[in-house]
Amino acid sequence: MNAPQFDIAVIGGGPGGYVAAIRAAQLGMKAVVIEREHLGGICLNWGCIPTKALLRAAELRHSIDEMKDFGITVGEVKIDLGAVVARSRKVAGRLSMGVKHLLKKNKVTVIEARAKLGPKSGDMRHIELDNGSQIAAKHVIVATGARARALPGIAADGTHILTYREAMVPGDLPESLIIIGSGAIGAEFASFYHDMGVKVTLVEAMDRILPVEDTEVSAFVQKTFEKRGISVMTGVKLSKVTTDKNGVSASFDGVDAPLQASRMILAVGITGNVEDLGLDGSAVKLDRGHIVTDGFGRTGEAGIYAIGDVTGPPWLAHKASHEGIICVEAIAGLADVHAIAPGAVPGCTYCRPQVASVGLTEAAALAAGHDVRVGRFPFAGNGKAIALGDDGGFVKTIFDRKTGELLGAHMVGPEVTELIQGYAVARTLEATEAELMATIFPHPTLSEAMHESVLDAYGRAIHF
Amino acid sequence: MNAPQFDIAVIGGGPGGYVAAIRAAQLGMKAVVIEREHLGGICLNWGCIPTKALLRAAELRHSIDEMKDFGITVGEVKIDLGAVVARSRKVAGRLSMGVKHLLKKNKVTVIEARAKLGPKSGDMRHIELDNGSQIAAKHVIVATGARARALPGIAADGTHILTYREAMVPGDLPESLIIIGSGAIGAEFASFYHDMGVKVTLVEAMDRILPVEDTEVSAFVQKTFEKRGISVMTGVKLSKVTTDKNGVSASFDGVDAPLQASRMILAVGITGNVEDLGLDGSAVKLDRGHIVTDGFGRTGEAGIYAIGDVTGPPWLAHKASHEGIICVEAIAGLADVHAIAPGAVPGCTYCRPQVASVGLTEAAALAAGHDVRVGRFPFAGNGKAIALGDDGGFVKTIFDRKTGELLGAHMVGPEVTELIQGYAVARTLEATEAELMATIFPHPTLSEAMHESVLDAYGRAIHF
């Protein structure tokens, strides 16, 4: 056996894996990333990044409709869908090249292959690669991510029934579109395709869209979507889909007539990539398609770790990156490595209106036994939002009545995905209402609504 | 004497004054605001708010040039300047009405008049109004703001030589424009008028534009302005301006040929409105046109307070509002009222690229004797910025090397005026690098650059 040896091998080059490998290299470890397809993973190649490029195009398209109010008129508007998609791919390509460059700069070895865990000899774990070669590493981090979940009996065919992957690179625009699932992915596609002129129906099995968000946020987004002309159906479960050359016909439990559309996007969640990794027979535990870990990425098997989407929800790139860093720092034996605290992972949805949140929803705070104080502030009371002509939405903050601890913050409206970090910082520092009130938020900014929401929780809002 | 009596009289209804009055009412005090012209003050009527409406129009106009990259093309673009300005005025009007409504809702009396402090009888101070009537109040807060400073021998005529006030409501667009002074106001007008198609020269007497910002930020904005086609002259002092029907001719010390342009905007700072207030003979102290106060708005004269621009720099609305709240809470005898900590007031400039900062610049930190660690992260390494097609600029953070305290943060680039609040929250909570590194910033957002800048200060940046 003279397989190349590493301190750390990371299987999967997404935002969990490549960040873990870079951090390992910074800490002086010899690291390798094994990636089967694209450096940067789904996030960078088929998720967060290319969708943001698409949504920016949609936002620019929408801004044309706003311009008249600002005294700007334009002649005929033409959208070259091919160019919209091509730009999105180009951005993904640039970033994937960037990751390659970063790994090289940090002296991380990159292997393009599929990897499978092999036996251990001494403290080294063998990894078999599908190019026929082998490597060995003291520590192996599984960062294989996840893939679109299928519904029983309903298969994506890539033509009429799409996953996010095909939905991101449409060759043409369908006349109409049914989107099954109204989490972040479904809501973002609904927003994008509607702005591009497609008749969209967004369908959710739960009783409200964006079901992980605070109920007030869900209600506001649904109202805004409907005002824009997006049809929303909640509390209905897809039972059957048939396709023919004209498109899809979808039947729902308890709904009489099937719904017809040119295409359908399935966005019903994701499932971990745990297969063919050689985990069988190991002490690595699985739970509903995900690898079970402690707060430091450790699995049941010594020397095997897992981070990111393969370990379960929330399926978010920044959670994966942060887990990667924690996992590597713990392996390196650094002092003061802390597992991710509950409610420390913010979530963002980039539909119009944008949604962002961190910590507990009001319902979750009550369910956890907190006596709460709740503050709300509408962007309609915010000068910058009014000046921008984009004053829909609100900020909602939830405090523990006894301790004043900020339990959660929920935002919907302009640029909230960029605003939420202030509350994330506050939560890391265990801020109470007193410090947030004492903070001077600059004027005129949307962020003043964050301040006012806190003030409102204590009956002290100024502009409401 | 049976003049109406109040607990608190606020002279001036700007963002310092009206906020102070509302807070006083919330605390159970009988409050009056005396405003000579517009509720909301300069900020709301002739400053922050209407300029943001203008700049949004400029941004929308600029976005049309970006659309081609996104696959969107439009026919002929027409700008109706009258409509641009009218919308800006409408926004200011809506907000001024909003302030009126808020004051009414909080049961604050509003008097439209000019006020002058009169004698004291007992613990009540008389205030004479220019409508012939009088009121009396136990506490008087002077919140009269400031006005454009004039240059010796160079008077704004409102036609060729403008202050911010005329510059905000142009009847037509000049062919060319000289802007004297490159602080926030000068830089914002340069950005706006250039986007509207005007040939702009921005002139600064100091050695760099935006002289209160970190030198690296000044340099970046200058480079970007010049790339856009704005001429920038630094280190030159205006010596003489002549006007004729064609426009202005400006001479500068040490520069041979005078500069010609259709119009000129003077943006050389502001001076406190301290005249005709009846302060003469009182113990209220003035310093270079501003009222001297302690950290709680107290002047040398018991019962007379001052807040906001009339008390000197930084001339910022949010500083005024915060001072108003502190002043009133101290009057009310609330526990735990704290004066504004040094470096707690963020500053924002809404030109393209946007600028935002809080705390010490690197030079100021070194001058104050700190041994520093400095982090930098360019938006060119940020996925969201690349997806938006707006990846110029950077985030710079400054830490005390010994304690890890965040001393200052300086940002230039997309949406930084909305991002800075995260660092403001961090400074209020006396965050060190450890807490900022432990915070999970959501992906993909511009705010990740804030995280990376902190990591870079400690040699741990991932994406650079």
> 3-class SS at A272?
strand
Tell me the C-alpha to C-alpha distance, in Å, between residue B156 and each of B150, B164, B165. 8, 10, 11
Interface test with B, best of A429, A435, A450 (most B CBs within 10 A): A429
The continuous run of DSSP H or E covering A429 comes out as: none
Q: A86 to chain B: which residues are within 8 Å by CB?
A: 71
Given the structure tokens 């220019």, which residue do they identify?
Answer: B130
CA distance B325 to B336: 13
Q: Give Cα B374 distance to the centre of its chain.
A: 26
- Residues A162 and A146 sit within 8 Å (Cβ to Cβ): no
CA distance A434 to A454: 9
Helix spans in B27-70 (H): 41-46, 48-67
Per-10-residue mean pLDDT of chain A, 464 residues long, equals 90 98 98 96 93 95 94 95 96 96 98 96 96 97 94 91 95 97 97 96 98 98 98 96 95 92 95 95 94 97 97 96 98 95 95 98 98 98 96 98 98 98 97 97 98 98 94
Q: Which chain A residue's Cα is nearest to B20?
A: A462
Q: What is the reported pTM?
A: 0.97
Count CB neighbours of A336 within 10 A. 7
Given the structure tokens 């009846």, which residue do they identify?
Answer: B278
Q: A421 to chain B: which residues are within 8 Å by CB?
A: 419, 422, 439, 441-442, 445, 447, 450
> 3-class SS at A221?
helix
Q: Which domains does chain B have, with CATH numbers?
A: 5-148+272-331 (3.50.50.60), 161-268 (3.50.50.60), 353-457 (3.30.390.30)
Q: Which chain B residue's Cα is nearest to A51?
A: B387
Nearest Cβ partner for B421 among A321, A347, A450: A450
Given the structure tokens 């004051």, which residue do they identify?
Answer: B103
B460 and A344 within 8 Å at the Cβ level: the answer is: no
Distance from CA of A63 to the nearest CA of B (A): 7
> 3-class SS at B443?
coil
Distance from CA of A431 to the nearest CA of B (A): 7
A462 and B321 within 8 Å at the Cβ level: the answer is: yes
Q: A46 to chain B: which residues are within 8 Å by CB?
A: none
Over the stretch B8-36, which tens digit does the pLDDT of each residue have? 999 999 999 999 999 999 999 999 999 99
Given the structure tokens 């621009």, which residue do they identify?
Answer: B309
Tell me the C-alpha to C-alpha distance, in Å, between residue A460 and each of A182, A233, B19. 36, 38, 11
Q: Where are the beta strands (DSSP E) in A131-184?
A: 134-142, 146-148, 161-162, 176-180
Q: Residue B150: what pLDDT?
A: 86
Which stretches of chain B score pLDDT less than 70? Answer: 1
Q: Which of A126, A443, A451, A463 is catalytic?
A: A443
B459 and A26 within 8 Å at the Cβ level: the answer is: yes
Q: A15 to chain B: which residues are within 8 Å by CB?
A: 443
Count CB neighbours of B340 within 10 A. 15
Q: A26 to chain B: which residues are within 8 Å by CB?
A: 459-460
Q: Which chain B residue's Cα is nearest to A92?
A: B387
Strands A270-272 and A146-148: antiparallel
Given the structure tokens 């310092």, which residue do they identify?
Answer: B16
Q: Residue B1: what pLDDT?
A: 53
The residue among B390, B210, B55, B44 whose CA lies nearest residue A448 is: B44
The residue among B207, B258, B270 whose CA lies nearest residue B47 is: B270
Nearest Cβ partner for B69 among A87, A340, A441: A87
Tokens representing A113? 């292959």
Q: Which chain B residue's Cα is nearest to A26?
A: B460
Q: Could you tell me which residues come within 8 angstroms of residue A367 by beta carbon, excluding any fewer than 6 positions away?
A: none
B383 and A48 within 8 Å at the Cβ level: the answer is: yes
Q: A347 to chain B: which residues are within 8 Å by CB?
A: 442
Distance from CA of A129 to the nearest CA of B (A): 27
Nearest Cβ partner for A438 among B49, B338, B421: B338
- With the C-alpha atoms ordered A294, B439, A377, A400, is the resulting torsion angle positive or negative? positive
Write phi, then psi, for A410 (nearest 5 degrees): -135, 125
Q: Could you tell me which residues come within 8 angstroms of residue B253 by beta carbon, excluding any fewer than 6 positions away?
A: B236, B237, B239
A440 and B340 within 8 Å at the Cβ level: the answer is: yes
Write phi, then psi, for B362 (nearest 5 degrees): -60, -45
In single-letter form, the type of residue at position A380 comes to A
Tokens representing B299? 């002047």
Distance from CA of A435 to the nearest CA of B (A): 7
Q: Give Cα A21 distance to the centre of its chain.
A: 21
The residue among A318, A137, A99, A280 whose CA lies nearest residue B438 is: A318
Q: Which residues pair with A290 in a beta bridge?
A: A287
The residue among B148, B244, B259 whose CA lies nearest residue B200 is: B259
Q: A98 to chain B: which residues are within 8 Å by CB?
A: 381, 463
- With the C-alpha atoms ordered B223, B226, B230, B235, is the resulting torsion angle positive or negative? positive
In single-letter form, the type of residue at position A137 comes to A
Q: Which chain A residue's Cα is nearest to B47?
A: A444
How many Cβ pairs closer than 8 A exist between chain A and B?
Answer: 283
A444 and B52 within 8 Å at the Cβ level: the answer is: yes
Distance from CA of A348 to the nearest CA of B (A): 7
- Written as one string, the DSSP assignment of B369-429 is T--EEEEEEEGGG-HHHHHHT----EEEEEEETTT-BEEEEEEESTTHHHHTHHHHHHHHT
HSE on the CB side for A81, CA within 13 Å? 14
Q: Residue B229: what pLDDT?
A: 98
Q: Residue A368: what pLDDT?
A: 97
Interface test with A, best of B26, B428, B430, B433 (most A CBs within 10 A): B428
A444 and B49 within 8 Å at the Cβ level: the answer is: yes
> 3-class SS at B123?
coil
- With the C-alpha atoms ordered B89, B354, A415, B73, is the resulting torsion angle positive or negative? positive
Active site residues of B: 443
